[in-house]
DNA sequence: CAGTATCCTGTCCGATACTG
DNA sequence: CAGTATCGGACAGGATACTG
């Protein structure tokens, strides 16, 4: 994704996609959250070609989502561990999972999220931490932030936001 | 993404990525949420080549995220409107936005989400609708669902899930 | 086991020209 | 205005062979 520039570069979503836009990246992160740390574990789990895995792992390390650590000196062996930035990606993954379960699992969900204590299935929903309100298109909207430029401001003019 | 199969096909995340894995798709959805409905609005906003826009719009329509509606007969004019499936994708977009703002906006966020009523900036956080608990890696984990096959079950064995 | 090195193919994507 | 048609390049991704 070394694209020079593209529509709405300054948008945080676009910037996020620069790091995880390639589709293997997200699946690698998914596996990392399941506890996978080693090269060949990723490879077996994903069925990805080794050279591609190298490329994607390096990209994730460069983006600061994974950390490459030497866990054995002779012979040199590395593990790939989630950084804080990587761990912060989990809500995105869970939101994606919930969406997929709702819309693309006619026979019922194959993977769910459960409460560690009770084992009860969770129903992931996005809320505003400040007010506790559920975030829907009716109650919230996007808006220019403090670092917005003129371009952003025009995009988020209230007149535009027809879809609620 | 007519890939025949890939690692963890039955995973809901992988299935989601089949629909929105290409990176333009997500940016198109982002714009759709901002109220963009017409071809050339998308094109100008995204700076995407027209043939690519056609492909991505068609793919999103086929996946049931957008609906192509004739809003004018002579000459025939279409608009692209979010379906319910498409609107349900918004939490993913907001989670992606929050993640991007936290990690890739050194000069502060350019786009934020605000409460429609109060105008106050929101802090999107994922919680379990059932218990109201914030969903972190410490309190929740993924697990095989009712439709899980043996493959899923082995992947989600507790012993594997080292990363919390 | 944990990768690296090559080679090849598909296709994503951009640029441009064209049409009702 | 809303696309379709065509061309070409870059690169994601696969297959395979090789190495310490």
Question: Across-strand partners of B141?
Answer: A114
Give residues 95 to 114 of B whose Cβ lies within 8 Å of A: 95-105, 107-114
Nearest to A133 by CA among B97, B142, B127, B1: B127
Q: Tell me the residue ranges of DSSP E strands in B5-106.
A: 66-72, 77-82
- Residue A164: predicted pLDDT: 53
Looking at chain A, the whole-number percentage of residues with pLDDT higher than 90 is: 71
| CA A83/CA A28 separation, integer angstroms | 14
Burial B50-78 (b: 16+ CB within 10 A, else e): eeebeebbebbbebebbbeeeeeeeeeeb
Q: For residue range A67-105, what is the model confidence (pLDDT) as tens digits? A: 999 888 777 788 999 999 999 999 999 999 999 999 999
Give the per-residue pLDDT at A126: 98
At B1, is the pLDDT very low, low, confident or very high (cuts 50, 70, 90)? very low
- Write the Ramachandran bin of A75: left for phi over 0, alpha for psi from -120 to 50, otherwise beta: beta
Of the two residues A7 and A58, the one the predictor is more confident about is A58
Query: In the predicted model, what is the mean pLDDT of residues A123-150?
Result: 93
- Would an 8 Å CB–CB cutoff place A131 in contact with chain B? yes
Judging contacts by C-beta atoms under 8 Å, the chain A residues touching residue B19 are 104
CATH among 1.20.1730.10, 3.30.499.10, 1.10.10.10, 1.10.3720.10 for B12-87: 1.10.10.10
Residue closest to B79 by CA, chosen among B25, B26, B32:
B32
Q: Which residues have CB under 7 A from strand D?
A: A 1-2, 22-24, 47-52, 55-56, 75; B 3, 6, 38-41, 49-51, 54, 75, 77-78
Cα end-to-end span (Å), chain A: 31
pLDDT score of A23: 87
A34 pLDDT higher than 90 = yes
The DSSP element (H or E) to which B30 belongs, if any, is helix B23-33
Chain B residues with CB under 8 Å of A48 CB are: 6-7
Q: Please calculate the CA angle B19-B65-B55 and round it to the nearest 5 degrees.
A: 65
Dig out the tokens for B3 from the structure: 């890939």
Residue A62's pLDDT band (boundaries 50, 70, 90)? Answer: very high
**Of all protein residues, which has its CA closest to the C1' atom of C5?**
A51
Per-residue model confidence as pLDDT tens digits over B137-155: 899 999 998 988 877 888 8
The runs of H, that is alpha helices, within A50-89 are 50-62, 84-87
**Is B16 at the interface with chain A, CB within 8 A?**
yes
Task: Count CB neighbours of B98 within 10 A.
Answer: 24
Q: What 3-state class would DSSP assign to A30?
A: helix
d(C-alpha A81, C-alpha A67), whole Å: 5
| pLDDT for residue B2 | 40
pLDDT at A1 over 70: no
Q: Percent of chain B, pLDDT > 90?
A: 72
- Whether chain B has a CB inside 8 Å of the CB on A139: the answer is yes
Q: Where are the domains of chain B?
A: 12-87
Distance CA A65, CA A80 (A): 10
Q: Can the peptide bond before residue A23 be classed as cis, meaning omega within 30 degrees of 0?
A: no
Residue A115 has its nearest CB partner, among B34, B124, B140, at B140
Q: What is the pTM of this model?
A: 0.92
Instruction: Examine the pLDDT at B160 and tell me if it is beyond 90.
Output: no
Paired tokens of A14: 């676009």
With distances taken from each CA to the C1' atom of nucleotide D16, the closest residue turns out to be: A49
What is the residue-averaged pLDDT of chain A? 89
CA B1, C1' C11: Å apart? 9
Most confident of A6-20, B39-53, B72-86: B39-53
Judge whether B35 and B3 are in contact, CB under 8 Å. Answer: no
């Amino acid at each position: 994704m070394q694209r020079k520039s593209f529509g709405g570069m300054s948008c945080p979503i676009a910037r996020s996609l620069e790091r995880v836009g390639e589709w293997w990246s997200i699946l690698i992160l998914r596996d990392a959250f399941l506890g996978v740390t080693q090269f060949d574990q990723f490879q077996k789990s994903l069925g990805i070609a080794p050279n591609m895995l190298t490329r994607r792992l390096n990209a994730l390390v460069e983006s600061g989502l994974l950390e490459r650590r030497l866990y054995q000196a002779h012979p040199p062996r590395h593990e790939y561990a989630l950084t804080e930035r990587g761990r912060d990606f989990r809500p995105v993954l869970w939101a994606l999972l919930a969406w997929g379960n709702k819309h693309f699992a006619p026979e019922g969900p194959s993977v769910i999220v459960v409460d560690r204590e009770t084992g009860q299935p969770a129903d992931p929903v996005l809320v505003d931490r400040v007010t506790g309100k559920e975030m829907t298109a009716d109650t919230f909207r996007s808006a220019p932030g403090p670092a917005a430029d003129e371009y952003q401001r025009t995009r988020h003019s209230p007149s535009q936001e027809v879809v609620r």
